[in-house]
Chain A
C-alpha cells in the first residue's frame, strides 16, 4: 500500500537566465513501512523534495498524495495539522526551541495540538533514546548527539505516519551518527515506521531498504537493497 504518491513534482528557483530547476517532474511512490533513503550530490534536489513532502514549500507543478490526500490542497490550519500529526521532521541542525527543556521540546507537537501528553509514552521514548536523565535540560546544555536524539523524539512522539529526516547525521561524529541511524532502523523494523531519509553518505543510505538517487532534480536510480 502506497502511503506517498509523488507525481511529476517540479520545483524551480529564480527566473529567466538565473532559473535553477531543483526538481524536474519527479515521480515515485513510497509504501507504508518503507525505509527510503534519498541520496545525491549537493544541489541535486534532495532537500527541496523533503520540504515539499513536509508541506513547507509549494511546487511549480505536480502533486504529492499522502495517505490519499493531495497535501498541496491543504492550507492554513489543515496544513499545520498535517505537519503536526502526519509527519515528523528531523533537521540536520536539530532546530530545537532553545527556551524549552528536552521533554517540553519532545511533547511540543502534541501540546500544540492541545492534546494531553501521554507521560508513559514520553518516558518510554526518552528511555529508548537514552535521554531520561536529560529531560529537564535545555538544548544548549546538551551535546550534538543528545540534541539530535531529542529532535528524533519530537518527530516520533505524535506517532506520525511518516518521518522525514534531512541529513540527521550531517552534524554528528561517527559514533553519534551510527546511534541515530540505528534508532531509525529500529523504528522502521520494530514499529513499521515509514522513514524518508536524506543523506549524501552512501554507507548510511545502505541501511535503508530502498535508495533513490537524485541528480539535477531527476531520479537517476531507484534501488531496493
Chain B
C-alpha cells in the first residue's frame, strides 16, 4: 500500500466518530438515491405491466379505413404488431333468457389479438380455425346447458334499425318492433372450444349481443378494426398516427400515459419529474452532509497536509490522501447503500403487493425492477459526489501557506476595518465567541450552511410531499361511491323494487340514483355563449348541442338545492319550468405533438333561458327513420330557465357528472311529466359502503332471490389501485421525510460538534488557566445561540421561498401551503439538535484530561 493510501486509511481509523458520521451520511445518501430510482423504475414497470394486463398491449386502433391506408401505415416499418377484429354479425337467440341480450354477436379476430388485448381464457383453448369459437362467461352462465365441446348452429346477419341503419354493440336493444337482423348468411356449425371473460373492449353491459370470438384467417384489413403496437412508441407515435384521419382512430391512453408518450396524461412524466425533484433534494442533502464532513475533516488535518508538503509531498499527493479516503469509504458504502436501498424497495413492494392482492381481484404484481444502467448511474453519482466533496476542500488546503498552516496562525486574519468594535463592554464569554467567529469564519459558515440547509430541506421536503399527496389525490379518479346497480325497468318500478330495498341493506352508508334520457337539442343564441364556446361551435360549424335530462330523487334534489343555496320551490313548480344545468364542454387543443384538454363554460350567465327541442321516443324513431329529416320538425319546444352550476361538489349519484362534457339538466322526479313525455327505462343507482365486498354480496343475494334483472358492479375494486397508490405516496412521503431528517440531523450534529471539538485545545487552554465551568458553559451557550439565530433567520426566509417555488413543479394553480407545522418542527428540531450537540461538546471537553488533550493536540 502506498504511503498516501496508508495515511488516508489510518486517518479514517483514527477519526472514528467523524468517519462514522461521514460513512452514515454516504450510506444514507446512496440508500435514498437507490430507493428513489429503483422505486420509480419498479413503479413505472408495474404500471406498464398492470396497464397492459387491463387495457392491452397496443397503442391505437383504427376502424373504417381502407386496406390501402392500413398497409400505408404498416409500410412505415414503425409498427411492431397488428391485431384485427372483424364484425361478422349478429345471430338471434331463440327464447333469450335475458331480454336485454337477445343476440349472439360474432367477432372474428386475428391470433395476435390474444397477445395484444386483455382476453382472459377461463377454460378450454383458443380457436384454431374460423369454425371454432370462444364463449363469454356471462353467456355460459345464462345458458348453462351449452358447454365446451358442444357445437352450435348459427347464421349471422346485420343488426339494423327499422330505418335500415346498421346498429352495433354500442346501441342498446330497442325491441323487436324497432330493430331486427337482416341479410342473414348461411347457417354454419361452430364448435365451442373455450370460455373467456367478457370481452369488454367490444361489449358493454348494455350491449344487446353476447360476444363470441373465432379466428379470422383472412389477411386483409377491409371493414376491420385494426389494433397497432408500435416499435419505439415514443419516437414513432406521432409520425404513425398522423397518417390516419382523426375520426377513425382511438388511442390506448392509459398505456400511452404510463409509457410517457402523450402530453397532459403523461403519468410517467409526472412520476419521473417528481422523482427528479426528490433526487435533487437528496443530492443537496447528501452533498451538504458529505462535503461538510470532508471540509471539517480536511480543515482539521490541514496542518498534517502542510507538514507533508514541508517534507516534500506534492500537491497531487496531498489531494490523493483525501481522494483515497473517499475511495475507501465508497468501496464499502456504495455497495452497502445500493444493496440496502434495493432491499428496502423489494420489501416495500412485496408488502404493497400483498396489500393490493389481498384487497383486489386485479392481483397486481409489484415487481422489483433494477437494471445495470440504474446501478451504474447510482455508483457514478455516489463516487462523483464523494470525490467532489472530498476534492474541493483538499484543493483549498493545498493552496494554503505551509508555514502559517503549520504554526496555525493563518486563521487569524482580522482586518483593521472589519475588526470587532464593541459599542459597550462585553463579557469575556461573548468576546471569545466574537473573536472565534472572526478567526474561524469559514468553519462557522459550514455550520450555518449545514443548519440552514437542514431546515430548508426539511421544510421543502415536507411541503413537496404535501403537494405530491394533494396532486395525487386530485389526479386520481376516486369515486364517491362503491357499488353501482343499473336496472332497465321504468324509473318508478326500479326505485320501488330495486333501489329502496338495496339502499336499506345493512352496511350501506349513503345512496342515490339518477335516470338520464336524451332530451333533444338546444339551438344556441350565440349572444348567450362564452367566447370560447362560440369559437368551439363555430370551428365545428355547429349551432346546436344535445341536452340530457337527469332525473333525480326529490329529497336528494332538495338537499342539493339547499347546499347550493337555491330556492327549491322554483325548481319543483311545474309552471316555472326551471332546472339546474351542468354546461361544460371538454375541448381538445392540439399543439404540435402535444394535446391538452380545455374545459369550456358554455354560457356566460349563471341563469339562462332557452328552448329545448324535445323529442319523445316516437318522435325520435320517426326522425331517425328519415335520413333527410330536420330535427325541428320532429320535436316540440320546451322553454326553460336554467341555473348553471359547477361540476364540483355534486351528490354521490351525480358525482359521475363531475367529468361529463355536454349539457345536462338536473330535474327532480316529481317534475318528470312537465319535462318529458316518456318514462325513463334505465336507472343508475349508487351506493357507498365501508365494507363494499360484504354489501355487494348481500345485494347480489337480494337481486338473485327476487329475480331482479339488474347489473351490479363493485366499482371500488377497480379503484383500489388508485387508493393504494395514494396510500403508497403517503407512506413514501413520510418515510422520505424521516430519512431526509435523519441525514440532516446527522449533518448538523456532525458539523456543530466538529466545529467545537477541533477547537478543543483552545478550550482546554482556557480551562488550564482557570476558566470556570460556568463561564465555559456560557461561552458554549453564546456560540450555539449565534449558530441558531443566524441559521433560523436565513432558514426561515429560504424555506418560505422554496415552498412557494415548489408548488409550481405541480401546477401554478395549486394552492400555496404555508408549511407552519413543518417550520415549527424544524425550529424545535434545530434547537433540540443544537442543545444536544452543545451538551455533548461540553461533556466531552469537561471530562477529558487537560494534559492528555494538550499533548494530543501538540502531537
Q: Using CB atoms and an 8 Å cutoff, list the residues of chain A in contact with chain B.
A: 51, 54, 56-57, 76-77, 80-85, 89, 91, 93-100, 104, 107-109, 111-114, 139-140, 147, 154
Task: Provide the residues of chain B in CB contact with A97, threshold 8 Å.
Answer: 7, 304, 307-308
Q: Are B859 and A139 in contact (CB under 8 A)?
A: yes
> Could you give, for residues 292-311 of chain B, a 1 whenever the CB lies within 8 Å of some chain A CB and a 0 otherwise?
00000000000010011111
Which chain A residue shows the least CB distance to B316? Answer: A77
With contacts A100-B6, A100-B7, A111-B3 taken as known, whether A95 is within 8 angstroms of B312 at the C-beta atoms is no
Q: Taking the nearest CB of chain B, how far is it from the CB of A45, in angstroms? A: 14
Top 10 nearest A-B pairs by Cβ distance? A84-B312, A99-B10, A111-B3, A83-B312, A80-B314, A140-B859, A56-B402, A95-B307, A77-B314, A112-B313
In the complex, what distance in Å separates the CA atom of A91 from the CA atom of B317?
22
Q: Taking the nearest CB of chain A, how far is it from the CB of B5, in angstroms? A: 11
Contact with B312, one of A80, A91, A100 (Cβ below 8 angstroms)? A80
In the complex, what distance in Å separates the CA atom of A129 from the CA atom of B327?
37
Q: Are B310 and A54 in contact (CB under 8 A)?
A: yes
Q: Are B403 and A98 in contact (CB under 8 A)?
A: no
In the complex, what distance in Å separates the CA atom of A19 from the CA atom of B344?
64
Task: Provide the residues of chain B in CB contact with A77, threshold 8 Å.
Answer: 314, 316
Q: Are A56 and B310 in contact (CB under 8 A)?
A: yes
Residue B14 interfacial (CB < 8 Å): yes
With contacts A56-B402, A112-B317 taken as known, whether A95 is within 8 angstroms of B3 at the C-beta atoms is no
Size category of the binding interface on chain B: 20 to 34
Contact with B2, one of A98, A100, A111, A147 (Cβ below 8 angstroms)? A111
Q: Are B311 and A83 in contact (CB under 8 A)?
A: yes
Task: Give 30 pairs: A residue, B residue, CB < 8 Å, sorted on A.
Answer: A51-B403, A56-B309, A56-B402, A57-B401, A57-B402, A76-B315, A77-B316, A80-B314, A83-B310, A83-B311, A83-B312, A84-B311, A84-B313, A89-B311, A95-B310, A97-B307, A98-B14, A99-B13, A99-B14, A104-B3, A108-B3, A111-B2, A112-B4, A112-B311, A112-B312, A112-B313, A112-B314, A114-B2, A140-B855, A154-B311
Q: Are A108 and B10 in contact (CB under 8 A)?
A: no
> Could you give, for residues 836-859 of chain B, a 1 whenever the CB lies within 8 Å of some chain A CB and a 0 otherwise?
000000000000000000011011
In the complex, what distance in Å separates the CA atom of A98 from the CA atom of B13?
12
Q: Taking the nearest CB of chain B, how far is it from the CB of A89, in angstroms? A: 6
Q: Taking the nearest CB of chain A, how far is it from the CB of B574, in angstroms? A: 97
In the complex, what distance in Å separates the CA atom of A106 from the CA atom of B402?
20
B1-20 contacts to A (CB < 8 Å): 2-4, 6-7, 10-11, 13-14
In the complex, what distance in Å separates the CA atom of A97 from the CA atom of B308?
8
In the complex, what distance in Å separates the CA atom of A98 from the CA atom of B310?
15
Q: Are A113 and B315 in contact (CB under 8 A)?
A: no
Q: Which of B6, B311, B315, B859 neighbours the largest number of chain A CB atoms within 10 Å of its CB?
A: B311
Q: Taking the nearest CB of chain B, how far is it from the CB of A211, in angstroms? A: 24
Q: Are A76 and B310 in contact (CB under 8 A)?
A: no
Q: Taking the nearest CB of chain A, how far is it from the CB of B222, in angstroms? A: 81
Q: Are A89 and B2 in contact (CB under 8 A)?
A: no
In the complex, what distance in Å separates the CA atom of A76 from the CA atom of B398?
11
Task: Provide the residues of chain B in CB contact with A83, threshold 8 Å.
Answer: 309-312
Q: Are B311 and A108 in contact (CB under 8 A)?
A: yes
Residue B406 interfacial (CB < 8 Å): yes
Q: Using CB atoms and an 8 Å cutoff, list the residues of chain B in contact with chain A.
A: 2-4, 6-7, 10-11, 13-14, 304, 307-317, 401-403, 406, 855-856, 858-859
In the complex, what distance in Å separates the CA atom of A197 from the CA atom of B583?
99
Task: Provide the residues of chain B in CB contact with A81, threshold 8 Å.
Answer: 312, 314
Beyond A83-B310, A112-B314: 6 further Cβ-contacts under 8 Å?
A57-B401, A57-B403, A76-B315, A77-B316, A100-B3, A112-B317
Contact with B858, one of A82, A93, A109 (Cβ below 8 angstroms)? A93
Q: Are B10 and A56 in contact (CB under 8 A)?
A: no
In the complex, what distance in Å separates the CA atom of A57 from the CA atom of B309?
12
Q: Taking the nearest CB of chain B, how far is it from the CB of A147, in angstroms? A: 8
Which chain A residue shows the least CB distance to B315? Answer: A76
Task: Provide the residues of chain B in CB contact with A108, threshold 8 Å.
Answer: 3, 308, 311
Q: Taking the nearest CB of chain B, how far is it from the CB of A150, in angstroms? A: 11
Q: Are A80 and B309 in contact (CB under 8 A)?
A: yes
In the complex, what distance in Å separates the CA atom of A80 from the CA atom of B312?
4
Task: Provide the residues of chain B in CB contact with A95, threshold 8 Å.
Answer: 307, 310, 406
Task: Provide the residues of chain B in CB contact with A140, threshold 8 Å.
Answer: 855-856, 859
In the complex, what distance in Å separates the CA atom of A77 from the CA atom of B2?
18
Q: Are B10 and A112 in contact (CB under 8 A)?
A: no
Which chain A residue shows the least CB distance to B314? Answer: A80
Q: Taking the nearest CB of chain A, how far is it from the CB of B190, in angstroms? A: 87
Q: Taking the nearest CB of chain A, how far is it from the CB of B678, in angstroms? A: 95
Q: Taking the nearest CB of chain A, how far is it from the CB of B95, in angstroms? A: 96
Which chain B residue shows the least CB distance to A88? Answer: B311
Contact with A89, one of B7, B310, B858 (Cβ below 8 angstroms)? B310
Contact with B311, one of A57, A94, A98, A109 (Cβ below 8 angstroms)? A109
Q: Taking the nearest CB of chain B, how far is it from the CB of A184, in angstroms? A: 18
Task: Provide the residues of chain B in CB contact with A91, threshold 8 Å.
Answer: 406
Which chain A residue shows the least CB distance to B404? Answer: A57
Task: Provide the residues of chain A in CB contact with B4, threshold 8 Å.
Answer: 112
In the complex, what distance in Å separates the CA atom of A93 from the CA atom of B317?
24
In the complex, what distance in Å separates the CA atom of A81 from the CA atom of B313?
8
Which chain B residue shows the least CB distance to A99? Answer: B10
In the complex, what distance in Å separates the CA atom of A84 from the CA atom of B401?
18
In the complex, what distance in Å separates the CA atom of A119 from the CA atom of B599?
86
Which chain B residue shows the least CB distance to A98? Answer: B859
Q: Taking the nearest CB of chain A, how far is it from the CB of B410, in angstroms? A: 13
In the complex, what distance in Å separates the CA atom of A98 from the CA atom of B11?
9
Task: Provide the residues of chain A in CB contact with B316, threshold 8 Å.
Answer: 77
Q: Which of B4, B7, B856, B859 neighbours the largest number of chain A CB atoms within 10 Å of its CB?
A: B859
Task: Provide the residues of chain A in CB contact with B855, threshold 8 Å.
Answer: 140
In the complex, what distance in Å separates the CA atom of A210 from the CA atom of B311?
26
Which chain A residue shows the least CB distance to B317? Answer: A112
In the complex, what distance in Å separates the CA atom of A147 from the CA atom of B855?
13
Q: Are A96 and B3 in contact (CB under 8 A)?
A: no
Q: Taking the nearest CB of chain B, how far is it from the CB of A69, in angstroms? A: 15
In the complex, what distance in Å separates the CA atom of A118 from the CA atom of B175?
108
Which chain A residue shows the least CB distance to B11? Answer: A99
Q: Are A76 and B402 in contact (CB under 8 A)?
A: no
Q: Are B856 and A112 in contact (CB under 8 A)?
A: no
Q: Taking the nearest CB of chain A, how far is it from the CB of B569, in angstroms? A: 91
